[in-house]
Structure 1
């Protein structure tokens, strides 16, 4: 085979683009975001192809073969061993267009899936038939069946329903040379003979496989450990005659090194209609592990272990989940789930297990039957892969020794020695995992960024490999080997088995085109680490208190578990949900920032121009600054903050986009327009509005808001003059007149005044104009944001009120800014304001907990502002609504899509509308005319008004005023 004379990257990209229906991306941004998975490694691919159909897959593979370019198949990119990335390879992203469930056969209990089918989509398709796919890794909302088959994924329920290999019926394969075939099993002698007699390459392959197996029967039988979670190396024992020469199982777990998956038929199992959860508490993890063998005969669906240090890491990362209150006393807990046809049947099974737990003198137990509480507890366990990347003390922890497995009866002893090994290397980690099958997840604080860190990494992994092998275990019990453990296979298997792995690979892929360097002739485990290489000494404007003042450390929070690409993740990540582009996900943006900080030069960085990077700017341009990632990401990647830093540095001493001047400084323009609101409205509705929008960088399809004839602050002065001072002894409260409510929707602030005065408070305003500075901050105009914030603090101080007087904010984005960004920019100077700032509902809930609230028994639906979700929380809102008798339903809609200036800026309209159309707008249109729409955010109310046929949403303060005015006059007297 001869290589074309011209550079393969350019010509291959050109040829692929000419013949494929799908996307072909060979640019720096796409190469960067596909250079990582959830491992410690970074491998820049040559390019990325997102095939639109199977013909695209065939064509792309044929062209790559002609150019001698390796191919790596990828699903969601959550592989922890580094097997979803490859240097100089073309990455085939199957998740984008090849993710359909092709059919469910309830009679045979099987399903047909494409390689990019997301597990949760399969579960939804099977649920109407009372069925499910048994394996369920914690990444079930985004992992693909192709990736699960490649890695032989397992999950919490494998103790009952097995690994992926146990649930695969047949695989449709495309070999590197273009041959297509379907493999299945088990096969008897006649079936094997029929396959070997097939014409052409398929028959030759089957003949070679059978000859290979017969020649090496003794070596395979002797060299392959028998344990439930052996997911290291090739599963050659599936080829044994006594195992039925099961080719589908033999290919499951080969990590894309032998063939590309075009489709699969998988087995389904009966999904118990009812579940119960037994929580068993033990003094430590080894005691919990020692208890497992006695509990397994009782038939639990899960036996998951979770120790107190995982809970500590969770609490260090965020607020305490209420579900933790259900954990019984102990320092390690087993989660033992039972199932049944009825709740009573599931409970009976749970009680039998609970009784067995109680027989252990040091154990405690609780049984949880409420499905919502069970989901919360499983959410704590499933967040572990991300949560424990930051240890309770703030240290960073990494994969590497991620999921070793031993026979369950030896797990306790193995954990004791594993802890001792960690201590010898002065390392810390948080073990947890699938104790029922002896599988332990462990993130470790390897000092990979330190000069000696790589040596520590290698020494520990070599010794840990020897340790697990001494217990008859497997290097990997779930996530496969990849680069992390491929080199260590020689410590687990004898040389003759390692040579069989090489021969097996040659049979399928003699030209080493498919994922080379994985499993066979593996890359060194300490090469290509994403932490090594220079970090550009770029100046920073923000403090990054939780990350030691380092943006590099901050973006390292992203470990690739990909919660941000799960469409069911609430607020995070709205732009990805609209575009489906990896570079628009939180994970993709973090990768781009990390590559930017790496720079070019000898390190081979794809992004070489630092803060001036066009690739990073483009990716961050569609970041809405919703802060959903800061709360929903298990490691709290705060992309909104990183975006502000980038915008500040990128445009420093340079002209900015027009929208930054027009919308980023909108409070100034609104203050001027308020001097002549009639004139401003006339201009906004005139033919000149189009030119005005173009000049301001505003999308022409957006409607400019109407200015009211009077601002709130002017109304307030008239109101105080007419009503006089508050009654003696009325406790003072400072109302924050945010810019948008003051100048555009004063009714919200007026409603708050009426309600607070009714509740007996003395409502005051700051001594002068105030602004939180968010519009400056979100566009990276940090000097201006600081000036605005300091002027606002001065206006608050000039009121003469006591320093602890609470400040009530009506708009969640403004209130969140006072809580988070003001202290971030002003330090100690801004913290007192942050500490005394409350939302409207928080203030009523805290300062008027027993006050009789006006009753309004209406149905309502609420669009929660994303900043409220991320920073403030809405528990107080729900309590206040219940006190009012409101029957409220909170939409799981995520960001509304407007996000302050984002939805008004030119170039964002389509994305803004697409985000709103995911959930919010259909829900609003479906709501009956009597249903109240609640939205505390100005942006949310504006988006609804402009895109939902004029439906108007209310602030909670407006709803309370409506309830107050509906009361008889005698009931409206101030208490």
Structure 2
């Protein structure tokens, strides 16, 4: 017996928690995080369930049915149409616990997967057999098979391997009423007859479906466009007798509105042993699209189009990838990939394809065989969904008309008309996508921050739907409809087909429990917009948000939900998510929480929010998201703002007073380092940790007998600089001055050996990072102003380069100093260099000692995100070092983070992902390089006795032995 929808969520939550083995989360944090996907929409759910197994799924659906609460199925939450969110629903998150590849059958070329299986995990499982799953959307590192089946995902190589619906063998289903069945196809007439004779609900279901098809054969045959890319509406033509009444195919692309997926058997294809890439350049995207039909007979794996404005958006967002130098002349490019059993065969196929390109006089061509260059160019294409959310001029671009599709032979004309429609509405967008399939991705700068913006959105989408229908096309060619396009389906299909969609949905889900409003009886396309309807909460801000017009709301809305931050190979970001697996600890999750804080509905406590504080507590401020996120969400900055506002005029955690004020305490300790070491190693050391908010398992540092600055003054008094030597100012950061002076002493030795006059500021300096990262922004500003005064008092020319030794301090001077002090901080930021950058730029031809050793390098997160390490690689080459740079991975210490009480386990887990296993596995004679004080400390404390060196220490040691 069902209960009304008005039943409070607390009762359902208690019952779910009592019977499920998995996690039941109905709190504000989870509702905020799961109220968004990658679409324009916002629908806070009633709660979230992360089922531990299939029995949990069955029980959760049964209880939701009893309470009359809708169910929304979610994989990685990257749906662009709004299919992974639902108002007042219970979201079932399959990715957390139901993501296994259950079996791979290389003989049958199939794999059995759970609904939360991530595509890349399936590819890894199939790779040893020379197999792969064909469809490969750009979100392959995090999208799930359940989501791909729900949206009939495609990818770049659907020209040869088809859509997900072309690669599904069987689906194991749970219906909203509790019925379970397995469907597949195609079926013979005898098999269909046998299904009608099955007992109970299953037999009745098959009977109704077959009668539904038989009664509507002509309508279905005539009303469904024939396109290589058609994912709008239900694929009713899969039910036709000539297509074998293929129920697996008919349910693929139904967006979780008909059944709950419990498991799937999918077909695999052979992985090409070798590939080559032809890049063809054209004057514009229309010309590129016009060229495609003549190239398809050569059977390329891909025919992907991307225009110059996508490249411009990429360059506006960050540094220029070197691979772009391989693009031939043009304003739009086709990526045409070929395959072969050998590199030679792939090259020969590419050469034939390149010859075909050259037959078009306006075309240019480049043939790329180097796998790394191919990978870099494909990375640009895969990042497109994130890149184009910001147009080259900085304006925001939104989904909505994300992936329309037309017959490929009509794509050029459609693109020209689409450009014209954009111009008539004074809108801009960056088209790119699967030109070989006639499918175009496009985000548009709808003026959603203006009162009339929603009207512009609706007017454009209605006219765009009419345009694509006039070409015999589909509103969606890959991502499905959801709330973004379902309302427009009558512009593509006749009323008879729309009525059949409703009947098909009711056959499967008579109670409308599963994802209601997504396809049948859809919600309006201009309702529930996540940014437009957000009230402008007048909360004070302390930081400028210069890239976002001074708005934190615009800054956090940079996150469009593409979810690169939840992929295990996403670079540095997001180390705490990779350790905990909790969505709220991802960059995306934290951005959603901050957006809800500013909105004030789900998160109601403003800057005092405990939900936001908890999520940000495990943010390491590593800055990885600022570089690795396609839209450059800068969570370290947002965290500093939150901590400043959260603790304003309130007591702070002990760690903020101990490690946040670390530079001050270390200067006091430097007055009596011996006594401080004695205390730290005695029983009193435990009390120091307790009072300082330091985890008891951490080892307090050993304080040096002499600071670097004292050593420098003593040495300079005995050894004045030679006349005429060029001055360079060395920044004596807190760590290099007061904790590990050997690094700074080594830097002086090397720089003086190269003929430079090493100078120091006239007094103590500090970058203010420990205050900045703990949100003590006022103190950070005062510290930086005093530091600038100490630099000015040194009396050096204004263009004197400044060398920073610790990457975190150097990155703070380069990026955060101007943010805190504005124009006053820019001169220092512009002349600050890392040690390797200085050697590379100011002493490019100076002889360095040969160091023909094996080495492994841990690159500091801030260096990777802000500074870059190309100069380090060039200096290492001059040294003759045989270096292996570890894959992107945070060390887990992150300044004060790893020392704070409550963070030790997460810190160690992060370090065990990449850093510690690699260091332990290194041969005894291998040098471990780590310029970051945090990285060296983490290695010293957790790597079983291994020690790491700064690059300056390595060079100085070599100089002493030559």
Q: Aligning the two structures, in what range does the TM-score lie when normalised by the shorter sequence?
A: over 0.9
Instruction: Give 1:966 shift.
Output: 2.4
Is 1:929 matched with 2:930? Answer: no
Is 1:774 matched with 2:769? Answer: yes
Is 1:763 matched with 2:793? Answer: no
Which residue matches 2:537? Answer: 536
Q: Partners in 1 of 2:106 and 2:236 — Cα distance?
A: 31
Alignment of 1:448-487 (within 5 A): 448-487=448-487
1:339-371 CA deviation, whole Å, 9 max, x = no partner? 000000000100111000001000000000000
Which residue matches 1:845? Answer: 840
Instruction: Give 1:65 shift.
Output: 0.7
Instruction: Give 1:242 shift.
Output: 0.3
Which residue matches 1:317? Answer: 317
Alignment of 1:39-438 (within 5 A): 39-438=39-438
1:859-906 CA deviation, whole Å, 9 max, x = no partner? 111100000000000000000000000011111141110000000011
The answer on whether the counterparts of 2:4 and 2:68 sit within 8 Å (CA) in structure 1 is: no
Instruction: Give 1:194 shift.
Output: 1.0
Is 1:570 matched with 2:571? Answer: yes
Structure 1 segments of 4+ aligned residues over 2 angstroms from their partners: 4-8
The answer on whether the counterparts of 1:8 and 1:67 sit within 8 Å (CA) in structure 2 is: no
1:222-266 CA deviation, whole Å, 9 max, x = no partner? 100000000000000000000011000000000000000011000
Instruction: Give 1:103 shift.
Output: 1.1
Which residue matches 2:619? Answer: 623
Is 1:686 matched with 2:687? Answer: no
Of 815, 824, 830, which residue of structure 1 is paired with 2:819? 824
Which residue matches 1:598? Answer: 599
1:940-959 CA deviation, whole Å, 9 max, x = no partner? 00001111112100000011
Which residue matches 1:894? Answer: 889
The answer on whether the counterparts of 2:338 and 2:350 sit within 8 Å (CA) in structure 1 is: yes
The answer on whether the counterparts of 2:5 and 2:69 sit within 8 Å (CA) in structure 1 is: no
1:587-609 CA deviation, whole Å, 9 max, x = no partner? 0000011111111xxxxx20111
The answer on whether the counterparts of 1:897 and 1:915 sit within 8 Å (CA) in structure 2 is: yes
Is 1:639 matched with 2:635? Answer: yes
The answer on whether the counterparts of 1:893 and 1:920 sit within 8 Å (CA) in structure 2 is: no
Is 1:695 matched with 2:691? Answer: yes
SS of the residue 2:186 aligns to: coil
Q: Partners in 2 of 1:962 and 1:885 — Cα distance?
A: 15
The answer on whether the counterparts of 2:404 and 2:439 sit within 8 Å (CA) in structure 1 is: yes
Q: Partners in 1 of 2:105 and 2:516 — Cα distance?
A: 36
SS of the residue 1:116 aligns to: coil
Instruction: Give 1:6 shift.
Output: 8.8
Instruction: Give 1:537 shift.
Output: 1.1
1:285-311 CA deviation, whole Å, 9 max, x = no partner? 000000000000000000000000000
Q: Partners in 1 of 2:278 and 2:819 — Cα distance?
A: 43
Of 780, 786, 811, which residue of structure 2 is paired with 1:791? 786
Relative to the length of structure 2, the TM-score reads 0.99
Q: Partners in 2 of 1:561 and 1:449 — Cα distance?
A: 22
Change (3 A) 1:333 1:6: closer
SS of the residue 2:447 aligns to: coil
Which residue matches 1:656? Answer: 652
Which residue matches 1:909? Answer: 904
Report the number of matched residues. Answer: 961
SS of the residue 1:838 aligns to: strand
Instruction: Give 1:283 shift.
Output: 0.4
The answer on whether the counterparts of 2:2 and 2:65 sit within 8 Å (CA) in structure 1 is: no
Q: Partners in 2 of 1:179 and 1:458 — Cα distance?
A: 40
Q: Partners in 2 of 1:504 and 1:100 — Cα distance?
A: 31
Q: Partners in 2 of 1:530 and 1:758 — Cα distance?
A: 59
The answer on whether the counterparts of 1:81 and 1:482 sit within 8 Å (CA) in structure 2 is: yes
Which residue matches 1:972? Answer: none
1:145-197 CA deviation, whole Å, 9 max, x = no partner? 00000000000000111000000000000000111110000001011011111
SS of the residue 1:567 aligns to: coil
The answer on whether the counterparts of 2:7 and 2:67 sit within 8 Å (CA) in structure 1 is: no
The answer on whether the counterparts of 1:304 and 1:436 sit within 8 Å (CA) in structure 2 is: yes
The answer on whether the counterparts of 1:50 and 1:93 sit within 8 Å (CA) in structure 2 is: yes
1:57-115 CA deviation, whole Å, 9 max, x = no partner? 01111111111110000000000000000000000000001101111111111111110
Which residue matches 2:704? Answer: 708
Query: Gaps spanning 5+ residues in structure 2: where?
Result: none
Q: Partners in 2 of 1:799 and 1:289 — Cα distance?
A: 62
Q: Partners in 2 of 1:869 and 1:559 — Cα distance?
A: 23
The answer on whether the counterparts of 1:540 and 1:645 sit within 8 Å (CA) in structure 2 is: yes
Query: Gaps spanning 5+ residues in structure 1: where?
Result: 600-604, 968-975
The answer on whether the counterparts of 1:774 and 1:785 sit within 8 Å (CA) in structure 2 is: yes
SS of the residue 1:830 aligns to: helix
SS of the residue 1:459 aligns to: helix
Instruction: Give 1:2 shift.
Output: 3.8
Which residue matches 1:559? Answer: 560
SS of the residue 2:305 aligns to: strand
1:511-531 CA deviation, whole Å, 9 max, x = no partner? 000000011001000010001
Q: Partners in 1 of 2:592 and 2:823 — Cα distance?
A: 32
Relative to the length of structure 1, the TM-score reads 0.98
Q: Partners in 1 of 2:917 and 2:197 — Cα distance?
A: 57
1:811-852 CA deviation, whole Å, 9 max, x = no partner? 000000000111110011110000100000000000000011
Alignment of 1:928-967 (within 5 A): 928-967=923-962
Q: Partners in 2 of 1:432 and 1:897 — Cα distance?
A: 38
Instruction: Give 1:722 shift.
Output: 2.0
Q: Partners in 1 of 2:723 and 2:714 — Cα distance?
A: 20
Instruction: Give 1:962 shift.
Output: 1.7
The answer on whether the counterparts of 1:51 and 1:57 sit within 8 Å (CA) in structure 2 is: yes
Which residue matches 2:799? Answer: 804
Instruction: Give 1:717 shift.
Output: 1.1
The answer on whether the counterparts of 2:80 and 2:479 sit within 8 Å (CA) in structure 1 is: yes
Which residue matches 2:606? Answer: 610
